[in-house]
Amino acid sequence: MKDWKNVWILAEVNHGRLSPTAYELLNAGRKLADDLGEKLCAVLLGSGVKTWAQDLFEHGADVVYVCDAAPLAQYVDDVYAKTLAAMIAQYKPNKFLLPATNLGRSLSAKTAIFAGTGLTADATEVVIHKEDGQLHATRPTFGGNLMATITCARTRPEMCSLRPMAYAKAARVSGRTGEVVEFPFDAAKYTSLAQFIRFIKSQGEGLDLSEAEVIVAGGRGLGKPEGFALLEKLAQRLGGAVGASRAPVDSGWIEYRRQIGLTGRTVKPKLYIACGISGQIQHMAGCSGADVLVAINKDPQAPIMKMAHYALEGDLYEVIPAMLEQLG
Ligand SMILES: Cc1cc2nc3c(=O)[nH]c(=O)nc-3n(C[C@H](O)[C@H](O)[C@H](O)COP(=O)(O)OP(=O)(O)OC[C@H]3O[C@@H](n4cnc5c(N)ncnc54)[C@H](O)[C@@H]3O)c2cc1C
């Protein structure tokens, strides 16, 4: 166990863009590395990705491991996972955090198998246990009814995929530098039976919740699925996205991917407008990180009215049109 050192994070690059989760993992990983007295290292996999190394140093990485090769231009599970497992075997990291994005969930599971270690998937909090230095990863379980803290006592690295937006982004320190370590890609070893053919972007999905600085979310108080059209108008006017509590998702008024909360997405927008949402703990778990929370509710006693920075008492079908009129 003593040979395994340092905290790694995967800096996901998707279609040429560094995922914002890289900064969140650097923030979470920095604390783990400092508590252990070890280095924080980021891993870049792909083609043309080395260019992101300086950005990672400025957000807290001490070392950046780069495997930059043309065959990694498109994401293929096995190829990426075998490459990562080979890097793990060579450099022996102690802890390894990956983002619980679509790519990260798939890659972390396969990598853990190839590396012969354990993985806690979709964690919301990671800490170092003071006595034994183990990674304690906490995640909701049994549909969010329990929080489970999971450890991986006998194998290294202790791997964990961390839910996007569970942590704030690391602060930037301009000019901070570190060490780049290049890892050669071996096309004969890192193979797959699967082949990348083409990438098809889904149409008409609107702004993703994770990218939106403004979210207008609707709850059961909308009363009908058509209510979301009104929210869409307000969201569009503010350049934001539409979200939902679980109630309208369960009623089939809106897709699950719009659900915010313990069993949905965690969001951290600048402005969150909750319309006809009562503010149950499971919903607030996904949106309490918003900079400004506005609640529109008929009931002044609804829990969200006490938590909101601005509580607007009234019927959302009167308040939202009035807001739209003001916005012009
Ligand atoms: C294990 C578990 C996991 C869960 N995970 C999630 C989750 O991820 N996300 C989530 O959201 N919930 C989740 N829930 C469900 C959660 O407990 C609540 O049931 C849910 O959030 C309630 O949704 P709501 O606020 O839209 O509805 P309600 O609680 O019914 O509130 C509706 C609100 O609308 C107001 N209202 C009604 N009409 C109007 C009007 N015309 N104008 C203005 N206001 C109006 C009412 O006063 C009321 O406050 C989970 C529950 C469990 C047990």
Q: Report the distance separating Cα 99 and Cα 24, nearest Å.
A: 9
C-beta atoms surrounding 313 within 10 Å: 13
Position 32 in a domain: yes
Distance 282 CA to ligand 1 centre (A): 9
- Note the pLDDT tens digit of each residue in 40-70: 999 999 999 999 999 999 999 999 999 999 9
Nearest CA to ligand 1 atom 39: 221
Position 201 in a domain: no
Cβ atoms 11, 43 nearer than 8 A: yes
Which CATH number fits the domain that encloses residue 223? 3.40.50.1220
- How many degrees, rounded to 5, is the angle at CA 219 between CA 312 and CA 293? 40
Could you tell me the two tokens for 59?
A: 């957000």
For the chain, what is the domain count?
A: 2
Distance 218 CA to ligand 1 centre (A): 9
The pick from 245, 301, 304, 315 for probing ligand 1's pocket by mutation, whose C-beta has the most ligand atoms within 8 angstroms, reads 245
**For the CA atoms of the chain, what is the radius of gyration?**
22
Q: Report the distance separating Cα 224 and Cα 15, nearest Å.
A: 38
Distance 102 CA to ligand 1 centre (A): 27
- In terms of domains, do 164 and 226 share one? no
| DSSP structure class, residue 298 | S
Instruction: Say yes or no: CB of residue 315 within 6 Å of ligand 1.
Output: yes
Describe the crossing of helices 227-238 and 316-327 by its angle, rounded to 10 degrees: 30
- In terms of domains, do 19 and 118 share one? yes
Q: Report the distance separating Cα 197 and Cα 74, nearest Å.
A: 9
Position 192 in a domain: no
Q: Report the distance separating Cα 11 and Cα 63, nearest Å.
A: 12
Instruction: Say yes or no: CB of residue 227 within 6 Å of ligand 1.
Output: no
Distance 240 CA to ligand 1 centre (A): 21
- Note the pLDDT tens digit of each residue in 219-253: 999 999 999 999 999 999 999 999 999 999 999 99
- In terms of domains, do 67 and 144 share one? yes
Q: Which of 134, 158, 182 is the last residue of a domain?
A: 182
- In terms of domains, do 145 and 231 share one? no
Distance 281 CA to ligand 1 centre (A): 9
CA 260 to chain centre: 13
- In terms of domains, do 30 and 93 share one? yes
CA 202 to chain centre: 20
- In terms of domains, do 228 and 168 share one? no
Distance 272 CA to ligand 1 centre (A): 15
Structural domain harbouring 96: 7-182
Q: Which of 163, 182, 201 is the last residue of a domain?
A: 182
Which CATH number fits the domain that encloses residue 40? 3.40.50.620
- In terms of domains, do 288 and 146 share one? no
Position 197 in a domain: no
Nearest CA to ligand 1 atom 37: 221
Position 268 in a domain: yes
| DSSP structure class, residue 78 | H
Could you tell me the two tokens for 141?
A: 């379980």
Could you tell me the two tokens for 18?
A: 């560094």
Instruction: Say yes or no: CB of residue 159 within 6 Å of ligand 1.
Output: no
The region that residue 89 occupies, defined by phi over 0 for left and psi between -120 and 50 for alpha, beta otherwise, is: alpha
Position 189 in a domain: no
- In terms of domains, do 171 and 254 share one? no
Instruction: Say yes or no: CB of residue 278 within 6 Å of ligand 1.
Output: yes
Could you tell me the two tokens for 98?
A: 């990956």
Which residues are within 8 A (CB) of 119 and not within 5 positions of it... i.e. 6 or more apart? 108, 109, 112, 152, 159, 160, 161
- Sequential pLDDT tens for the chain (328 residues): 889 999 999 999 988 899 999 999 999 999 999 999 999 999 999 999 999 999 999 999 999 999 999 999 999 999 999 999 999 999 999 999 999 998 999 999 999 999 999 999 999 999 999 999 999 999 988 767 789 999 999 999 999 999 988 899 999 999 999 999 999 999 999 999 999 999 887 665 667 887 789 999 999 999 999 999 999 999 999 999 999 999 999 999 999 999 999 889 989 899 999 999 999 999 999 999 899 999 999 999 999 999 999 999 999 999 999 999 999 8
